[in-house]
Structure 1
Amino acid sequence: MSTKNDAERPILEAQNLFKTLGGNRVLDAVSLAIGRGRVKVLIGPSGAGKSTLLQCLNFLMPPDSGHILLEGREVDKRSKRELCAFRQQVGMIFQDFNLFDHLSALENVRVALMKVKGMGKLEATERAVAELGRVGLGDKAQLYPANLSGGQKQRVAIARALAMDPKVMLLDEPTSALDPELIGEVLSVIRDLAQGGMTMIMATHQISFSASLADEFMFMEKGRVVEQGSPAELLGKGSGSRTQAFCAKISELTGETGEAGECGL
């Protein structure tokens, strides 16, 4: 029987994470928690530690110390079996797509279903087709990455992650490698996921877009969490927040505004 406390418990939580790379501390006592169906956006300058944090959350780069809990249970990073199960539940979307060039879009989505989840080829194919359709690529299933645009590649990557039925999605600058005219198609898929209740933690500079769907912003700088709060709190006029100053500076430098712009306010 579920209780109010169960409903309020974070689905994913990180406690006091530290990470040092090349003698530099890139995560310094970072903690976060996200509830089911919520969207948390990580922002901050390059080198702030956002990508490292996301990779630590999925144990692609294990933290030096600290604790990561999924649904209240700490993950044992020493157990390969437990890490494999954890990564099925916490999907990762990278900046550079990470598709297999020798596999078609369909095969890129299907391969993990067969090798990790143990599905038969027919069942895995049906699921892969469904997920490609979900991201608007039902007619591109037989194409290889070389024949897909950057936006289409990223949507294949999202379909691949969705096929594993993740409880949480981690997105690391999902539009940073895309030409401006292709950004919108990926943002549209991300918006649909948010509206469908997907729990997401996303690092991005698409602040105008993020402000319309994020429950919370978390501003990072030099490996530390500087401030966090709702978009209204941090970006509201007169807030005087570090977040607002950062976004205003980016907008000034790029001259871009609007949903597809960098930090358009």
Structure 2
Amino acid sequence: MVDQPILRVENIVKTIGGNRILDDVSLTVKRGGLKVLIGPSGAGKSTLLACINFLSPPDSGAITLEGKTIDGKSKRELLALRQQVGMIFQDFNLFDHLSAMENVRVALIKVKGMDKRAATARAMEELARVGLADKPSLYPAQLSGGQKQRVSVARALALDPKVLLLDEPTSALDPELIGEVLTVIRDLADEGMTMIMATHQISFSAALADEFLFMEQGRIVERGAPSVLLAHGSGSRTQSFCAKLSELAGEATCELASPAV
């Protein structure tokens, strides 16, 4: 059972404003796996994640979770899907008028129907899990960007998702705050959380991912193990893109000497 795909994305097509944003995209994720979407801006990475949990319904294709193909027209199935497939956004999407604890608790009460006391206890548990046990009463305006993103992770985890989608989770953060969010993601990977993540944090994700999916112009044009795609002399599109990112950042190349880098 461990090796069976928990999520299948088959032949997804999405057109927005007359432009084909996704063009026949397919992927599978095994339980406990981490797929990393990389590629230039506008490649379709964020749209693909939004299509997977029907925040932006695909025009055609199929999303199958644990062997069940999701009916995008059924409100009940969509509600169930969004409980099982959590989403972490670039811009946190927190409620400004709610404290950190209340941001985590609200879905437990409204979606899962938990009573207030149980929901509060679970919210506190998840805040502790992401290192924010001492910040439950603070509002988003009182939190750093990294703390806000960790609250959003805690909120998603509180619903016990089977798959977690992360859309550039560090892109809105100052450089010194990125590490605290990456630490949480690494911990989730170590715990066996199934994830699909769009990111430009290539070296970090290479150490965790079982597969890189390089997207360009709405298609997956290259896929493979990070150690293969980033190997010195591979000539891969992924390695070329990574080298450009490193050059822009003024860093050394992110070629991998070994899968453990």
Preserved contact between residue 207 and residue 264 of structure 1 (Cα < 8 Å): no
How far the C-alpha of 1:142 sits from its partner, in A, is 0.2
How far apart are the structure 2 equivalents of 1:163 and 1:43? 27
CA deviation after TM superposition for structure 1 residue 62, in Å: 0.2
Aligned-partner Cα distance in 1 for 2:2–2:238:
30
Partner of 1:190: 185
Tell me which residue corresponds to 1:68: 63
Measure how far apart 1:9 and its partner are: 2.2
Q: 1:80 aligns with which of 75, 79, 84?
A: 75
Q: Which amino acid counterpart does residue 30 of structure 1 have in structure 2?
A: V
Shift of 1:256: 3.2
Following superposition, the deviation at residue 264 of structure 1 comes to 7.7
What are the Cα deviations for residues 43-63 of structure 1, in whole angstroms up to 9, with x where unaligned?
A: 000000000000000100000
* Counterpart in the other structure of 1:118: 113
Shift of 1:127: 0.2
Alpha-carbon distance in structure 2 between the residues aligned to 1:196 and 1:264: 27
**Shift, 1:257, TM fit:** 5.2
Structure 1 alignment gaps of length 5 or more? 1-5
Q: Give the aligned partner of residue 166 of structure 1.
A: 161
Match of 1:252 among 243, 247, 250: 247
TM-score (norm 1): 0.95
Amino acid aligned to 2:197: M
Counterparts of residues 203-218 of structure 1 (less than 5 Å) = 203-218=198-213
Aligned to 2:133: 138
Look up the match of 1:175. 170
1:3 corresponds in structure 2 to: none
Hey, what does 1:234 align to over in structure 2?
Answer: 229
CA distance in structure 2 between the aligned counterparts of 1:251 and 1:192, rounded to whole angstroms: 25
Q: Which of 31, 39, 49 is matched with 1:54 structurally?
A: 49
Tell me the CA shift for residue 213 of structure 1. 0.5
Distance apart, 1:220 and its partner CA: 0.2
Cα distance, 1:74–1:202 mapped onto 2, change above 3 Å:
same
Which of 31, 35, 43 is residue 36 of structure 1 equivalent to?
31
Where 1:139 maps in the other structure, the secondary structure is coil
Q: Using structure 2 for the length normalisation, give the TM-score.
A: 0.96
Name the CA distance, whole Å, in 2 between partners of 1:9 and 1:242: 29
Sequence identity percentage: 75
Aligned counterpart in structure 1 of residue 148 of structure 2, from 153, 156, 161: 153
Number of residue pairs matched by the alignment: 256
Aligned residue for 1:20?
Answer: 15
Give the aligned residue type for 2:200: H
Contact 2:231/2:255, CA 8 A, preserved across alignment? no
Inter-partner Cα distance in structure 1 for 2:41 and 2:133: 35
Provide the rounded CA distance (Å) in 1 between the counterparts of 2:252 and 2:194.
27
Question: Paired residue for 2:259?
Answer: none
Residue pair 1:97, 1:154 contacting (<8 A) in 2 also? yes
